[in-house]
Structure 1
Amino acid sequence: MNSEYQISEEEFNLREEIYKYLKYWPWFIVSVFITLLTAFVFLKFSNSVYRSSATIIIKDEDTKSPGSGISSFADLGFIDGLQTSSIENEIGLLESKRMLTKTIESLDLNIEYYAKNLFVAREIYDNVPFRVSILQLNKVKLYDFVRNERNNFIIDFKNENGVNITNAKSGEKFKLKYGEPGNIGFADIVLRENKDFLINGNNEIEYSFVINPISSIVSRYSSRLEVMLVDDNSTLIEISLKDEVPNKAEDIIDQLIIEYNKEAIIDKNLVASNTAEFIDERLKIINFELDSVESDKEAFKENRKLTDIQAESELFLENASEYKKKRQEVLTQVQLVNAMLNYLEDGSNSDLLPANLGLEGDGVNKQVTNYNQLVLERNRILEASTLKNPTILKLDQQIDQMRSVIVKSLNRLSANLDISMKELDNEAKIIQSRISSVPSIERQYRGIDRQQQIKEALYLFLLQKREENSLSLAVTAPKAKIVDHAYTSGQIAPRSKVILFGGLLVGLIIPFGIIYGKNILNNKIKNRDELEKKAKQISIVGEIPKIDKKQSHLITEADRSVLAESFRIAITNMQYLLINKTDKQKGIKMLVTSTVKGEGKTFTSINLALTLANMGKKVIVVGADLRNPQLQRYDVGSRKQLGVSDYLINEDLKLNELIEQTKYNKNLDFLTSGSIPPNPSELLRHRRLGEMLNMLEEQYDYIILDTAPCMLVADTFLISQYADLTLYVVRASYTEKALLQFPIDSKKAGKLHDVSFVLNDVDFANFGYGNKYGYAYGADKKSFWEKFRERF
């Protein structure tokens, strides 16, 4: 049974909590309407943001491939490991402001075009009736115009002789003709018609253009650009950009890829160009040496009248063929090593080393490859930096160290070749002893022929490498292969559903928060429920609604207002409290008091008396507040009359002479408080007070005592002993909750007896059952807007 009761009570409390907010439903409706309207206006006037993206693959460079621009270096032994930089470096290059600057300059994106329709100006990119070209730009003046917001120009096409351009900020006008240059303050521009323009049916559109510094555009798009690796195990890269104009974002991404490929091709061609210069230089030297040797050979034969020395010495030279071959190879390597050493001595840190010359030894080839990689990195960074950049200094240090290592490796290789040459020389001595019978002429001839063959072999080798290098220059394959061209996936902001839902949520939260905060911070009694919870020991006989200033504060005969009905209900409830006293022959004394002043004691007393008088009862209102009398406010003529205090002091005064019939009702009389005495408490202890009340009991059905606030003075407690019923007035939104403990304690201590609450000045939204269920006896039916206004 207890469990069921507890569940029922909890359910009831939950309903009451919900009702606290539901009764303010107009607040919620207005708040939701305003927030949704605000969200709709925001969506209407805000610019949509789109996300455009493209996907590329960074191709790996194969240094051994014949089509590669660095294959010649690999064969020459100068390069090893000059392959694609780490993917993080390529991402960093794509995100760099230098690449973005080239892209912005290529597309002329520092010039922005706008179309204003009604109140909103939106950027347009493709469909614009004109194009602006900058012939000459003064950057200093441009920054000054931008700082003062004078870089926006409005186009007027109504000029028959050309176009009027108006500075939107300063109002300065310029007249230009299509195709002819004109000055707008900081730049010389040319205006051209856009033949691809699709005519818009709305003639009220206002077109304008804005010229910004390239650096500001780069900074704007740098924060919106994202370059990320799609997969850690691949070189697949996604480039995305957020912008309000999707076509513009797509063009930026595509152009960024083009600029990246251009730079990659330039880097590859730079290596091939340096190789070509080295090969051409060596070909000139070898060609000169080869001509000299062939001339010596020709002169030798002519002087000695030789024809076919080979046939004569073929038998002897068969054993020496292998020696010649090995010696030739070693000599070739020696020449290449010496050439490389000379090139290293004459070159600087910005020069690439020649590669693919055929040096033996993988160690030297790898070192030259790494050296050229460092030189390329240094030259790339130096384009946007100075020699004092810490990165440049670090690279210079690495290049010097690598150069020293290469020199040591070449010296080591040269020493190895010298050893090989000595071994071949020893072998040559053996062969020489076998052909000692060959005439000295043959030996001299073979020496000349040997020199010719060496020079000729080196010459042909360099010619082959020159052709391969020329082929690599002709092949300009892009480094970034496009997987997906730039496309727009859709709108990412503003998100309409989220914003509208957020507006709805905020619209509900705002009144909820206000009501909740108001309830939390409120320390005053608001309605009947709160009064019952705070003071369960004292019953409530009635609620009195709040009255507008325009309405009458006094009840009239046949009054059908909510105020009159609330006092009738209070009187009906009081009958149950006076059930044991209604059979007595004398009148009933009602004491009306409150905790502090301003809670409506006199108002309650007068209207309670009027209600009883309208019912045919003989009623008198006694002004028992001798300190701050308020009864005189309702009868101007009584302010100078004698009253209770005078009666208590002067025993010669007759009570009937002090009673005054009111103008409100023939059954209602007033006995005012009279003169303000210096000792009210002593007067109220006078025996004449009891005698006065006894006499009034004989003459009236109801005696209503309008007393002083009982918390402030002890006067009321002196009178309460004579009262049959004590009506304790509590004013809604005025009486503090903490003050309710005072009447509870007073009743418990016996200072007040037969106490009942009257809740005064209750807001219509909190007023009893009539408002909750939409029924109030005697009240005219109100319109929706009147009810709505009452809620506020």
Structure 2
Amino acid sequence: METIKAPTAQQETSLSDILQPFLKRWYFFALGLVLALIASFFYLRYSTPSYLTRATVIIKNDQGSSPAEELFAVSGLGGLLTKYQGSKIENEIAIFKSKRIIKNAIEALELNISYQNLGIIRDSEMYDYRPFQVRYLAFNDSLVGVPALEFSIIDSSQYSLHNLATGTKETYTFGNPVNLDFGEITLIPNLEDEIRFNSFSGKSIRVLYRDPDVMARSYQARLNVVNEISSSNVVVLSMESSVRQKTEDFLDELIFQYNKDAINDQNQIAQKTSDFIDKRLQIISRELDSVETGKQQFKSTNRLTNIEAQAQMALENASEFEKRQFNVNTQLELANTMIDYMESSTENDLLPSNLGIQGGDIGQSVENYNNLILQRNRLLKSSTSKNPVVVNLNNQISNIRQNILSSLQNTTESLKISLRDLNYQESVLNSRLSKVPSQEKAYRGIERQQGIKEQLYLFLLQQREQASISLAVTASKAKVVDRAASSFGPVRPQKSLVYGAAALAGLLLPFLIIYGRSLLYNKIDSRKDIERALPNVNILGEIPKLRKDEPQLVKMNDRSMLAESFRILRTNLQYTLQKKGMEQNNSIFVTSTIKGEGKTFVAFNLALTVALTGKKVVLVGADIRNPQLHRYLTPEHKHDKGLTEFIVDPSLTIDELASKSTENDNLDIILSGVIPPNPAELLMEPRTEQFFDTLKQKYDYVVVDTAPSMLVTDTILINKYADVLLYVFRAGYTDKRLMQFVKDSMAEDRLKRIYPVLNNVTMGNFGYGSKYGYSYTQETKKRKWF
């Protein structure tokens, strides 16, 4: 018994073994690559190119960094300064991407109405030039959605309308209202270029109306707004689209709508301040008129003409004091007015600015307070009050408002103290002026009140003019650095990327198919599969796969691949017998694991090939359960007696059983005979050994076609009479798992002297140059390229 050895290094899987299944099917990769490139060509030919449009703006920081630092320092919120500055650009980006601003831009340009020029393969959007404009005058609230409409120009005055929803087609006149199921429309022709207008005559143009809210969400998802340089206020707006001019117009309009919204917010402060000043002017005007009337009555009653001259010297000494008293009273009046306004207003109201209150940073605080109110209101238009940024702004607004009120109260208390001190000094001065007539003192008090009211009135007039100027010359918030401009070439699809991906897919798909097949395919394909499973057993031959129109038997002077493969098998068999010292032994058994692997085919052709050398050969059918050898005999010999009759009937001889083959005179055939009820017990009879001994003496070679080894025990029972056991495997048919049966049979000594023969091998799977050797012996033929 031959021992089973471990696989050597040469028998282990090498890189060439791994690549072999892919290399021999190279045409699949070539075909996949060609098909993928063709598919990518048509994809690029008929796909809609997409272009990248960019615009760059700078967000102006009107507040400035230094006043902000002072504001946070005064309010005690210095820790929030960095966070506030860092989130400001993000806030502006959020406003740029807000649905409200985007919807305003879409409605301004009517981008929710698209015009498509219908083509044979694909439709193209019309934007630069439209032969007519569809105006949607009214919509029915009961209907949901507006159907697509197809228009065809008949002439400069008429057109046809095809309602795709109802399937109706009517003719209408340009400019006349048309009532449809969803509402009312009208068409305005574009006759500025009549030649271009007439070129669309007879062509179908589809018009689609989409809900502006839906379009705003679509544009919102496609719009990209980023602060590329984190340390700057530069914001880049970008968007991809198939129509470059349309996207450029949208980005420019979006910037305009953003500036318009920011200007409206800034005008709210100026308008609020102007309204506050107007109200105060009305009050001061009435008070000033009352003081002047009292002055006139006082002079008339006391018959005073030039009372100032009488107290000229005293007034010169008190002029400096009166200026200080006037300033204190003015500041106190403004502070009290501001406190009253703040106590009567809410945190949602803007505060009047630039009132001229001195002391502290009240004016700057009011300006920053108003800016925060506007920022919060702008964010609330596109988000909720629970937004972390809004909550942060609310906290800042509350703290700054409290700080402003506290500062005003502190300023009021300080002014009151100053006023009390001035009043005390006034009493001292009045004592010095005791010699001045009482009318002079009363008159001076009236003039003092008049001066205060006049100065306050003039001051408010000046502030109203400043507010009016601010309202008229409000600057835009976003400065355009680069207007919207599109890329020269399309950014999608990229030809190199598409062709590269297609080439990769064209190569990867065959690879995956072949690799997946190798994982799922569990059949023997080549001699290497047998060598891996049976490393210490020599394969004697490979039989090629035949087409249906090719001969199945070896003929005299045959130069076919089939004949050459059996000649190689015959030579290897003879060499093996000589090497083993068994050249006098001539019993060759042919078996397989299961039915259908071609053992009868191999046995018959091997017998024919050996007979062609002039040796006397007998072919025995020992598969007594499912005999197949009779198919190679003429009809008159198909029912001859065979092996089973010889074992049962002692009177029968070999000569009575042997039939001469019509294929070769040196070949005799003995059939298996009648199928017995007990095949295994029959083969164990002594006549079986006598049968094979007689054949060895009578013939040079005995070729025996046996039963499948794994299915029945017949071959194992008669294996002891074999000098060589040719074990047939069929490529593409024999399961690799069946190799374990052969290994177990050899290890347990149930089958001896096994030599594999691989049947039905394709040209690509021949080993050791067989496919080249066979082609050498064939006649020269013109071969097709594929």
Q: TM-score, normalised by structure 1?
A: 0.86
Q: Determine if contact 1:61/1:84 at 8 Å carries over to the other structure.
A: no
Deviations 1:198-240 (A, max 9, x none): 9598999753221111111111111111222132222111111
Per the alignment, residue 605 of structure 1 pairs with 603
SS at match of 1:114: strand
> What are the equivalent positions in structure 2 for 1:622-771 lying under 5 Å apart?
622-635=620-633, 636-697=635-696, 700-740=699-739, 742-743=741-742, 746=745, 752-768=751-767, 769-771=769-771
Q: Which segment drifts farther, 587-596 or 195-204?
A: 195-204
1:374, CA displacement in angstroms? Answer: 5.0
Which has the larger displacement, 237-246 or 613-622? 613-622
Task: Tell me the alpha carbon deviations over residues 724-781 of structure 1, each in whole angstroms, 9 at most, x when there is no partner.
Answer: 4332212223333444455456556665555422111112321342436893532664
Report SS of the residue matched to 1:726: strand
**C-alpha distance in 1, partners of 2:519/2:567?**
34
In the other structure, the counterpart of 1:20 is: 21
- Cα pair distance change 1:747/1:266, threshold 3 Å: closer
Partner of 2:111: 109
* Residues 234 and 315 (structure 1), Cα distance of their counterparts in 2 relative to 1, 3 Å cut: same
**Aligned position for 2:75:** none
- String of CA shifts for 1:153-177, please: whole Å, max 9, x gaps: 3332347862223244653334343
What is the 5 A alignment of 1:36-435?
36-62=37-63, 86-138=88-140, 141-143=143-145, 145=146, 151-158=147-154, 162-168=158-164, 170-194=166-190, 199=196, 206-344=204-342, 346-347=344-345, 350-362=348-360, 364-365=362-363, 368-373=366-371, 375-377=373-375, 379-380=377-378, 406-407=404-405, 409-435=407-433
The structure-2 alpha-carbon separation of the partners of 1:183 and 1:387, relative to structure 1 and needing over 3 Å to count, comes to farther
Alpha-carbon contact 1:142-1:212 (below 8 Å) kept: no
Distance 1:727 1:403, change over 3 A: closer
How far is the alpha carbon of 1:388 from its aligned partner?
A: 11
State the partner residue of 2:480: 482
Matched with 2:554 is 555
- Select between 512-521 and 703-712 the one with higher mean Cα deviation: 512-521
Q: Which runs of 5+ in 1 are unaligned?
A: 1-6, 66-80, 146-150
Q: Distance in 2 between matches of 1:782 and 1:203?
A: 61
Query: Does the 8 Å contact 2:541/2:568 carry over to 1?
Result: yes
Distance 1:203 1:303, change over 3 A: closer
Q: In structure 2, what is the equivalent of residue 77 of structure 1? A: none
Post-superposition offset of 1:191: 2.3
The answer on whether the counterparts of 2:63 and 2:368 sit within 8 Å (CA) in structure 1 is: no
Deviates more, 1:595-604 or 1:367-376: 367-376
Give the conservation status (yes or no) of the 8 Å contact 2:334–2:357.
yes
Query: Partner of 1:148 in structure 2?
Result: none
CA separation in 1, counterparts of 2:201 and 2:783? Answer: 48
Structure-2 separation of matches of 1:749 and 1:407:
106
- Residue-by-residue CA offset, 1:537-584 (whole Å, 9 max, x unaligned): 322221111123343423344433322221122222223234489998
How far is the alpha carbon of 1:57 from its aligned partner? 0.9
Residue aligning to 2:465: 467
**For the Cα contact (< 8 Å) 1:631–1:672, is it kept in 2?**
yes
Task: Out of 739-748 and 106-115, give the one that drifted further.
Answer: 739-748
Contact 1:117–1:205, Cα closer than 8 Å, also in 2 = no
Structure 2 letter corresponding to 1:166: H
Letter in structure 2 aligned against 1:783 = R
Native 8 Å contact 1:262 1:478 kept in 2? yes
Q: Does structure 1 retain, via aligned residues, the 8 Å contact 2:153–2:201?
A: no
Conserved 8 A contact 1:605-1:706: yes
Give the 3-state SS of the residue equivalent to 1:117 in structure 2: coil
CA distance in 2, matches of 1:135, 1:289: 56
Pairwise CA distance, 1:47? 2.5
C-alpha contact 1:368 1:406 (8 A) present in aligned 2: yes
Give the match's secondary structure for 1:476.
coil
Distance 1:215 1:340, change over 3 A: same
* SS of aligned partner of 1:756: strand
Structure 2 gap segments, 5+ residues each: 1-7, 67-80
Return the alpha-carbon distance in structure 2 between the equivalents of residues 364 and 648 of structure 1: 129
- 2:702 maps to amino acid: I
Following the alignment from structure 1 to structure 2, what is the Cα–Cα distance between the partners of residues 716 and 743?
13
1:454 alignment partner, one of 452, 455, 463: 452
Residues 729 and 759, structure 1, Cα contact 8 Å, conserved in 2 = yes
Say how many residue pairs are matched. Answer: 758
Q: Is the CA contact 1:142–1:213 (under 8 Å) kept in the aligned structure 2? A: no
Q: CA deviation at 1:258?
A: 0.3
CA drift at 1:131: 2.6
- Give how far 1:486 is off: 1.0
SS at match of 1:493: coil
Q: Does the aligned pair in 2 maintain the 1:272–1:469 contact within 8 Å?
A: yes
Offset, 1:603: 0.9
Q: Which deviates the most, 570-579 or 742-751? A: 742-751
Deviations 1:618-640 (A, max 9, x none): 43321112222121233355443
User: What one-letter code is carried by the residue in structure 1 that aligns with 2:682?
Assistant: L
1:493 is matched by which residue type in structure 2?
Answer: R
> Match of 1:141, SS?
coil
Q: In structure 2, what is the equivalent of residue 524 of structure 1?
A: 523
1:70 alignment counterpart: none
Q: 1:709 & 1:386 partners in 2: Cα distance?
A: 83
- Aligned 8 A contact 1:117 1:204 in 2: no
Structure 1 position 180, deviation (Å)? 2.8
CA deviation vs aligned residue, 1:29-57 (integer Å, no higher than 9, x gap) = 11222222233333333322222111111
Residues 445, 167 of structure 1: CA spacing in aligned structure 2 closer, same or farther, 3 A cutoff? same
Q: Residue 497 of structure 1: CA displacement?
A: 1.3
Work out whether residues 11 and 532 of structure 2, in 8 Å CA contact, stay in contact via their aligned partners in 1: no
Offset at 1:104?
A: 1.1
Query: What corresponds to 1:506 in structure 2?
Result: 505
Asked if structure 2 preserves the Cα contact closer than 8 Å seen for 1:587 and 1:698, the reply is no
Q: How far apart are the structure 2 equivalents of 1:536 and 1:611?
A: 28
- Cα pair distance change 1:417/1:645, threshold 3 Å: same
* Residue matched to 2:775: 775
Cα distance in 2, alignment partners of residues 83 and 518 from structure 1: 62
Alpha-carbon distance, 1:194 to partner: 4.0
Q: C-alpha separation between the residues in 1 aligned to 2:519 and 2:649?
A: 54
1:113 counterpart SS class? strand
Secondary structure of 1:26's counterpart equals helix
Superposition RMSD in Å = 3.7
Q: Is the 8 A contact 1:349 1:400 kept in 2?
A: yes
Q: 1:772 to 1:366 in 2, by over 3 A?
A: farther
Q: Would the alpha carbon gap of residues 127 and 649 (structure 1) be closer, same or farther in structure 2, given more than 3 Å must change?
A: same
Who is 2:76 aligned against?
Answer: none
Note the C-alpha offset of 1:14.
3.3
Bigger shift: residues 459-468 or 303-312: 303-312
Query: Counterparts of 2:9 and 2:690 in 1: how far apart (Å)?
Result: 54
What's the CA shift string for 1:231-275, capped at 9, x where partnerless?
Answer: 222211111122222222211111111011111111111111111
SS in 1 for 2:435: coil
Residue in structure 2 matched with residue 30 of structure 1 by the alignment: 31
Q: CA deviation at 1:99?
A: 0.9
Q: 2:323 aligns to what SS in structure 1?
A: helix
Aligned-pair identity in percent equals 42
